[in-house]
Structure 1
Amino acid sequence: MSELRNLHPDPHARKKCACWEGVATENGDNWRYELAEGASNGTAFAWQGMTNTELAGRVLYARVISDNPNVLDRLTVENGTLLVRRDGWVAARVADGNNSSHTLPLVYGPFVLMERGVYTPEDWERLYDMVQNGTLKYPELQRPWFAGDTFPTTGGGLSFLGFYPHHLELVVVA
């Protein structure tokens, strides 16, 4: 069976991320990030939990919610090449060997980080293609993201997302 992997250990973004010139406050199960008082620039380390070396050469994905449309319209990944920005989510490719910080900007307004992913470029292409094509095998895949560490891509079957909210499990129907 072929599988795609979300390499981030906290895909639901439940753990608080560090900020530079920013503040994080609890917001239900997730965290709200905004500029610190008096700051004119700041960022949230959205892929915290992985080192910059581990992020090099990968595709980084994040989905945020915000009441400020400017946040959603200008969402980007620091030191990454923008691949897609749509409906409150962003994906960017980090160049091989780029060990710089990869963050989300706070200058456009506050946001809640809802989900994140880290993919190999090959897994990203396959996953994004599945979303673009609206594959019938996985109608629950609305965005290029899943919470489990693996996502089976062959075999057909029935998803049990409601029973396993942190993993995407599939039962193969023969």
Structure 2
Amino acid sequence: MNSISKTLGAIAICASAIANASAASPAQQVDVSFYKDGHLVSAGTSIIAHEFGQSPFAYSSGTHVGFGTCHLEGATMRLQSESRFVGLSLVVKPVDVDANRVRLSVTAQDTEFVGKRDVGTADCHSEVVDVKGLEATNVTLDVADGQSVDVPLGDAHYRLVLKLHHADL
């Protein structure tokens, strides 16, 4: 009976410590709204819990287009198969987190396939996949708790809004 009391006491102490840690650094939530020409194309949320690390908000819809590359290394020719994603993709990744502010890295893409073309020499030619559309990579910004921010994507057709607030867990 005494060992059960000690075990229950240890569990209660651990539960209290976890509750206190959660209260000291509550999880934050990033609400993501991605618009094209005024129409919502993707929305969601990502929870950022300090003690459990951060995971990105990620969304993609599209396809991979295959292509080949040739590399000459001295007298050796090396052929390699590669692919390029074409379509809609959005990644919002926490980089640095504190109690009232989060630094985020944003990569947004909305591309369409234009075609493939050959480049290189006659004895070692490669393919290049041509696309057109939005390609904003590693846009970094700070968002404070309770703040809503428009991410500068460099294309007036697109609007990405991020809002940071404490998560209601």
Q: Which has the higher contact order (CA 8 A, sep 6+)?
A: 1
TM-score clears 0.5: no
For normalisation by structure 1, the TM-score amounts to: 0.24
Which structure has the larger Rg?
2
For normalisation by structure 2, the TM-score amounts to: 0.24
